[in-house]
Amino acid sequence: MSSKGKRKGHSSSEERSKKHRKAISLNLKMKIIKAYDAGKKVNIIAQEEGLAHSTISTILKNKERIREAMKGSPGTKAIITRQRKGLIHETEKLLMLWIEDQFQKRSPISLPLIQAKARSIFATLKERVGEECTETFTASRGWFMRFQQRFNYHTVHPPGDVVGADEKAAQRFLDVFDDLIAEGNYLPEQIFSVDKTRLFWKKMPERTYLHQEAQATPGYKAFKDRITLLLGGNVAGFKLKPFLIHKSEDPPVCENIGQQTLPVYYQSDQKAWMTQVVFEDWFVNCFIPQVQEYCFQNRIPFRILLLLNNAPGYPLHLEDVHPDVKVVYLPKNTSPFLQPMDQGAVLTFKACYLRAMLATAVAATEDNGVSLREFWKAYDINHCIENIATAWKDVSLKCMQGIWERCLKRFALLVRNFEGFDPNEDLEEISHNILTLTQALSLEVDAEDVKKWIAYHEGELSNEELIELKEELEAQGIAEEED
């Protein structure tokens, strides 16, 4: 509905037009521009201001002229008319991406870490500009407080504190989500959630001779090779086909097996990133067709509720793509509490992957007579995809149902499996299997190594990766405005 359609009590189109122009003052337009520059999406701004999406897009297209108009507008404060430019502003925008990415990985964020990353980003940008740049930046405590105000990012805690999840927002969301389920009369089979994770598919524990040898050779980069996976399912325990993003345009397996028969959906990206464009492609061409077929086979109506993180890489306009798919986004900083896949499914999958990979290695060394070193050198994305399929199959129905308990106020008997769900039980058993397999391969690995191996920290985005991600997101934002 347009902004005009929301206003009542005006007898003529001329009066409505006058009222509309009066409501969107220069100050309001600048508020909209500043909110967008701080990272807010167009549809969120439209909801907050009670304006149409197209109206917000028009304002953003004309933001330079609006800024010029503000400079000459009487009675406006200098702080409103000032347009932030330069490397510090660019540093802050990249820093916001880094903070959000760190939170999604559950990595601790403190003031010293933020200051250090800000100085590092600024140094990278300054190096790109060259010697003519004389701008300086110290990332002081005062700067940090102003940074919070500019970007309206109040979940960054004062010095010494580590940023944590928003438990109060999570609790409020439970009621909102339950109301949506009740109003839509959704069945467990119709409620889905997915989450992305990175998998370092050739990584070995640091104490192993394979890792140590690799560090001394040019091939060490292969051990850092990563893929991005999108995993998910529904409350009933049905698992979606994994979506895999890898840097190779075509995996070797595709030479003999068609894309339709692969155990994963395959997408190439130079950085193996989940971008908004890639996610929307999955949503339209993978998720919707698969769920339509699932509903048809189970003789249930195709009306879907999809729960997503509020995270970079997930577009916020998906609800407009299909009338029978409602997309709900978790409040920021609540995924550790509420995101179903974060409640044990992803970690269990990664443990299952390691078990499948090591079982493949044991079979190769025992049956084919190859050395572990030879096997590891030949281990490629083909083997990785096969072991992903095995691992995803090994994630139990009990797990896929039990992970929903925290975000649902209904379907209690289903998500509690009548006896309760404890992800640690599965992990302990799989970890024991992994340890046994490493012993069969004569690898120097103990129980603590296995634990770290399963929960390997993904690492933070480099400055160059942040710059590329920001450029991609900005390009996507421009495309959304033009739609």
> By 3-state DSSP, what share of the chain in percent is helix, strand and coil, each rounded to 5?
60, 10, 35
In a shared domain, residues 367 and 234: yes
Mean of the per-residue pLDDT values of the chain: 80
304 with 264, same domain?
Answer: yes
Neighbours of 349 (CB within 10 A): 24
Pick the last residue of a domain from 123, 151, 179: 151
pLDDT, one tens digit per residue, over 3-24 is 333 333 334 434 433 333 334 7
Tell me the pairing of strands 265-268 and 226-234: unpaired
Which domain CATH number covers 338? Answer: 3.30.420
* CA–CA gap between residue 354 and residue 263 (Å, rounded): 18
What is the predicted pLDDT for the residue at 470?
81
> Are residues 206 and 337 both part of a single domain?
yes
Q: Is the pLDDT of residue 27 over 60?
A: yes
Mean pLDDT, residues 33-58: 81
On whether both 128 and 222 belong to a single domain, the answer is no
Q: Do residues 339 and 202 share a domain?
A: yes
- Cα–Cα distance measured from residue 382 to residue 437, given in angstroms and rounded to the nearest whole number: 21
CA distance 32 to 30: 5
Helix (H) or strand (E) holding 212: helix 209-215
For 113-145, write each residue's pLDDT tens digit: 999 999 999 999 998 888 777 888 999 999 999
427 and 306 share one domain? yes
Q: Assess whether 202 and 270 both reside in one domain.
A: yes
245 in the same domain as 394: yes
Q: Is residue 471 part of a domain?
A: no
Q: What is the CATH number of the domain that holds 128?
A: 1.10.10.60
The answer to whether residues 431 and 294 belong to one domain is yes
Range of the domain at 34: 26-72
CA 415/CA 28 separation, integer angstroms: 46
Count H helices and E strands in the chain, helices first.
23, 6
Residue 228 lies in a domain: yes
Identify the burial level of 468 via C-beta atoms within 10 angstroms of its C-beta, where 0-12 means exposed, 13-18 middle and 19 or more buried.
middle
Q: What percent of the chain has pLDDT over 90?
A: 41
Task: For residues 329 and 318, give the distance between their C-alpha atoms in angstroms, rounded to a whole number.
Answer: 10
- Domain match, 147 and 236 both: no
- Residue pair 444/245 in contact (Cβ under 8 Å)? The answer is no
> Model pTM?
0.69
- pLDDT at residue number 72: 47
pLDDT digits (tens, 9 = 90+) for 235-276: 999 999 999 999 876 665 544 555 668 899 999 887 777 888
Instruction: Read off the pLDDT of residues 420-436 as tens digits, 9 standing for 90 and up.
Output: 678 788 899 999 999 99
First and final C-alpha spacing in the chain: 16
Residue 469 lies in a domain: no
Q: What total number of domains does the chain contain?
A: 3
Give the span between the Cα atoms of 439 and 420, in whole angstroms: 33
Would you state the pLDDT for residue 80?
36
